[in-house]
Structure 1
């Protein structure tokens, strides 16, 4: 699963069990579920099957690739009767487990089915379910009814609403009348960083304008989190996982009081640009890996920067990805390739020649052969065309699957209160 999803899974689990993992986690990962025909990727799908399939479709749509019918049928077959999605349903003849419904998987699937086309009813049902589990603060958690709203989950739901033709600002909680934008702004650190605690990363001016994943469970203070910031930026702009370049932001990276979604997005993008400036990449928050690049979070940040109108830093970091991300994507599979496609597309790079790697071809090879091959139109022509286009205990098991940095379909060790 992608890094945006990782913190949400971990938070949903710890909301029920706290920080301690059960013996099953400590003793090893559960037996891998069989990978069914039609699904992209070869790794155990039980925690991310719907998510990685959805990202694969979204990336293919960027290259005018139509996925195989059986691949689409697999995704639509995962939908629950109420319109929601679980992370993975091994047996679709059985009703969905209400303790395993997943706002992130549902939101990704909605965006993917819009991109594929021809699934209006499924999209409507998915959106209706998302609206039905909106929390009083206007946001969403990873697992409905289990823990408070978080920046990552709220942002990806905004992307689903926008893709389906909804106006996120008009989707308000039944009690309190709060919108998703209202919820996201509550996770924003002010320009002086004063709401961050003295312990942990993110305190002081260096955290100015960043977003927290959630308030700290004990202190309710906010700690800057780079991936939550990237998610919040695209969400506050009303965009989804495949956000493209936005209007240039002439204010640069200066922080200002965030009273509107646009101001919040500007501040978040400024924080990302400042954080990326020195190296071009974000650092992993996994214990013992302070200086190791986090490729998945960097790809998310590139998309956010481009969408927020800061193309210079977005391009520099995309160039870093083009030189350093090939092995990471090969190891982690379809969602990793998809994230790189999104980053390439947002910055005007060619995903069919990204540092010498054909990301689209590599992605296609992880699943059923698509119905159509990538368009052969020159990259410049395609860019011009684009410019013209208008928890239950079950989840805690995922914590035991830590095996890498960034994306993949394993849980990253990023803590929600730790700055990247």
Structure 2
């Protein structure tokens, strides 16, 4: 999900929170809130832009990309993320003043909570305080269970209607920490997969065959959404944004079953994405509501997500043109977007066995690491990099004596633990 769209979702969630808290707020003068701090290496936060809508998100994606390339985030970066957690286990998109306890006005964010839980689990083994991380991960996953909707899914904010993106982010995090998403059910016995199936368009649909909708529109109709489809394709396969290439590879097809399954729906989603990418080599971004320029623009972030989804579905070959397009056209976007953008591209490269240090003319790993506290040097020992059992994703082994001693850049090899 792009930061701009995260901001729009956060504003929508704010309306829900502020609406429920309006009565209490009217009778008491609000205390002044500290201005959002700008990220610096000293603070532990990655990136220098206003973190109001994406502080936790970009920090967490940076961690996942760093672990995927063998680096361990600096201790103060991990401490920054731990410090953002509320006492009940949840995370907001960003808390400017972490000395102030979370309250009813705190806009808790299911997406931020899920990705933070996944990122913390990924950095646990080489962290300075693994027991503290264990407690944070458990508290976060426990909180997600308490706010699960009756249909088995999640909305962006507490009390919001379920949507495909939020549900998929939570599914990916649960799978990564070793929880079976299908057994993570609501009080009504509905699982996240039940919710995802409710957003899936059939292959017989006139438009958007095989895609997922973000949510039904006001009339209950499902409209194809590429962002939601990339996310739900991964979730339907029980995977997350750190997924790697599936084997054997197979061209994606769309097939309706008499009894739909989430796995089949995910493969149908891959079929939709492959066709959408085949048109121009990238997805397009519709104009934001109220924008004066109504021209569709290339959607670089969701194109990167679609590459990961296709690779995870065994359709890495169909993702190759989009990856090549990203290598040629993403540099300026990544520089502007910062840590989360670099992380998305690294994860797309990783999913297709492409070296993120030679992504077009850019070293994505170097540029990501430069946006925050310097991470710990890569450790190539099997014991230090075998995080798969804890984080749920494959480990990349960084090889090359040049990298270890600081001469040259080494190279990356993708490997899966057997």
TM over 0.5: yes
Residue of structure 2 in register with 1:271 after alignment:
272
Describe how 1:162-201 pairs up with structure 2 within 5 A: 162-174=175-187, 176-193=188-205
Correspondence 1:388-407 to 2 at 5 A: 389-390=417-418
Q: Which residue of 2 aligns with 1:77?
A: 83
Q: Is the 8 A contact 2:251 2:315 kept in 1?
A: no
Indicate the structure whose relative CO is greater, using CA pairs within 8 Å and at least 6 residues apart.
1
State whether structure 2 residue 115 is matched by structure 1 residue 102.
Answer: no
Check the 8 A contact 2:114/2:173 in 1, yes or no.
yes
Report SS of the residue matched to 1:253.
Answer: coil
* 1:331 counterpart = 2:336: yes
Kindly state the Cα deviation for residue 97 of structure 1 after the two structures are TM-superposed. Answer: 3.3
| Structure index of larger Rg | 2
Deviations 1:132-172 (A, max 9, x none): 11110000011011x21000000000111111110000000
Alpha-carbon separation, structure 1, partners of 2:36 and 2:183: 42
Structure-2 residue corresponding to 1:66: 72
CA RMSD of aligned residues (A): 2.4
2:151·2:191 contact (CA, 8 Å) conserved in 1?
yes
- State the match for 2:118 in structure 1: 111
Residues 209 and 272, structure 2, Cα contact 8 Å, conserved in 1: yes
Aligned to 1:308: 313
Unpaired runs of 5+ residues, structure 1, are: 19-29, 194-203, 391-420
Partner SS state of residue 283, structure 1:
strand
Which residue, out of 399, 403, 412, partners 1:377?
A: 399
Q: What TM-score, normalized to structure 1?
A: 0.81
Distance 1:166 1:260, change over 3 A: same
Which residue of the partner structure matches residue 235 of structure 1? Answer: 235
Unaligned runs of 5+ in 2: 20-33, 125-129, 381-397, 401-408
Distance 1:336 1:349 in 2: 17
CA distance change for structure 1 residues 266 and 6 in 2, over 3 Å: closer, same or farther? farther
Aligned pair count?
363
Question: TM-score when scaled to structure 2?
Answer: 0.82
8 A Cα contact 1:127 1:164, kept in partner:
no
SS in 2 for 1:83: coil
- Please tell me whether residue 44 in structure 1 is matched to residue 50 in structure 2: yes
The Cα of 1:32 is off from its aligned counterpart by 5.3
Contact 1:5/1:104 (<8 A) preserved: no
Whether 1:317 and 2:322 are equivalent positions in the alignment is yes
Q: Give 1:91's match in structure 2, choosing from 97, 100, 114.
A: 97
Cα distance in 1 between the residues matched to 2:379 and 2:285: 33
Distance 1:53 1:351, change over 3 A: same
Name the CA shift for 1:328/1:381 in 2 (closer, same or farther; >3 Å): closer
Secondary structure of the structure 2 residue equivalent to 1:230? helix
